[in-house]
Chain A
Amino acid sequence: MSSVTASSPRPAGQQAGRGAVVQPAWVRVTHWLNALGAILMVMSGWRIYNASPLFAFRFPTSLTLGGWLGGALQWHFAAMWLLAVNGLVYLALNAATGRVRRRFWPLSPRQLVSDFGAALRGHLSHDDLARYNAVQKAAYIGAVVLLVIMVLSGLVLWKSVQFPWLRGALGGYEGARLVHFLAMSGLVLFFLVHVAMVALVPRTLRAMILGR
């Protein structure tokens, strides 16, 4: 357990050993606020999508938020502040505490392939929750990147005139619309796999709620 203690910071006054902090309070708070913000954004976003579907399907109304387009837009443009401000706090604290380096570095493609194979065979160890395997690292970094893409493409959709450089980079208004949809799809896929993995290793849920 000494490796756990060494690799994760814990607030002063807390017991070492078995009870060492796996997820510090700021990670837990930002994680759950992000979960709430992302869920509100996706559910209201589906309602907005349904008003003018990009593809030949609509999302089931029961899975959407807002009741009608105007209500969904209100939720979307309120929850965006939660998602964006909380996301910035998360990124800033990751950088400031050095957690991003400690938890996510190093990540090699070879490690990723070998851990992915082990995961499929059910051979990955989760003895030490404070050490992410390469698949976890890639998935969590991927989720953060997708969220950043969602925010940037959302900015172009919201303010198509005010961010010409960003608009150009994303292929114009219609390009940004597609990027916004694809990033959402990736994020929902992450969410489904993430929840399934938590169901397989429930101790991770405990760690993300209680910290250890």
Chain B
Amino acid sequence: MTPRDAVLPDAGLSGRDRQELVKEAGRLLAAPARRRLLRDGLTLGGLAMLTGCNVSNSETAEALLMRFSRFNDRVQGWLFDPTRLAPTYPESMITRPFPFNAFYEIDRVPSVDPAGFRLKVAGRVRQPGSWTLEQLATLPQQEQVTRHICVEGWSAIGKWGGVPFKHFLNLVGADLGSKFVGFKCADEYYESIDMPTALHPQTILALTYDGQTLPPKYGFPMKLRMPTKLGYKNPKHIVEIFVTNDYPGGYWEDQGYNWFGGS
């Protein structure tokens, strides 16, 4: 009955996507292709050592590395088990104070007026429109104490509460066969995630932190909390959510971070 059953078992990939994935894997494993990769790798390695290990400017190296990153997106989509849960922790293990982290200093955290705030919902949904914070607060809520893992390597345990994102997507009639859910944020940040992760049972549209209204430093008015994703994939200060089949990219991804960016 629910579209979830049609979407989750194959990790959100359409038949054609899966065929392409298998084909790509086959290509990579085929001996001539592997030899070519290894040969290129040798060349890059030699280049790296000759130039003092900074070949980031080399277009060839960058193009090859980006291809690997795209390939890794596919592998990670394939490895993703939508039923596998991130570990949860007792409240005594919450990291206090939970670190503030953004692409700017804390004094530049955006201030959002709760009274005038409207969350915009757009794209491949049956009911596009806008939501007030009061309306969101009336939806079913769920709390989690999970580990936030930053791409830099550090981690911290925090407690978030909010609307299960799958419930919200169903409520707005999102086309769950779409490839991406995109986010626009009040601090100019933007992000996008894969549909299987959007439907993961621990993905929540977080409105609270540690039992309190989500404070500005942690993303007021709302943050998408996904314990299966690295920190930069969890957008804060969300003002618009849209469902799409056109790759929306992301603030860090467009500079080179891996798009899948998680477990």
Residues in A48-99 with C-beta less than 8 Å from chain B: 48-49, 51-52, 54, 62-71, 73-75, 77-79, 81-82, 85-86
Residues of A within 8 A of B153 (CB): 48-49, 51-52, 54, 177
Q: Within the assembled complex, what's the spacing in Å between the Cα atoms of A93 and B72?
A: 27
B72 touches A77 (CB 8 A): yes
Q: Within the assembled complex, what's the spacing in Å between the Cα atoms of A77 and B87?
A: 24
B263 at interface by CB-CB < 8 Å: yes
A160 touches B41 (CB 8 A): no
Give B24-46 as 1s and 0s: 1 = Cβ < 8 Å from A's Cβ atoms: 00000000001001100110010
Instruction: Compute the total of residue contacts between A and B using a CB distance below 8 Å.
Output: 98
B155 at interface by CB-CB < 8 Å: yes
B53 touches A43 (CB 8 A): yes
Q: Within the assembled complex, what's the spacing in Å between the Cα atoms of A159 and B261?
A: 10
Given A51-B153, A52-B153, A174-B155, also A82-B38 (CB < 8 A)? yes
B68 touches A52 (CB 8 A): no
Q: Within the assembled complex, what's the spacing in Å between the Cα atoms of A39 and B52?
A: 13
Q: Can you name 14 A-B residue pairings with CB atoms under 8 Å?
A: A43-B53, A48-B153, A52-B152, A65-B54, A67-B54, A69-B151, A70-B256, A71-B65, A158-B263, A160-B149, A162-B81, A164-B87, A173-B147, A174-B155
Residues of A within 8 A of B42 (CB): 36
B79 at interface by CB-CB < 8 Å: yes
A145 at interface by CB-CB < 8 Å: no
A73 touches B258 (CB 8 A): yes
B141 at interface by CB-CB < 8 Å: no
B168 at interface by CB-CB < 8 Å: no
B150 at interface by CB-CB < 8 Å: yes
Within the complex, what minimum Cβ distance (angstroms) separates B77 from chain A? 12
Give A138-161 as 1s and 0s: 1 = Cβ < 8 Å from B's Cβ atoms: 000000000000000000001111
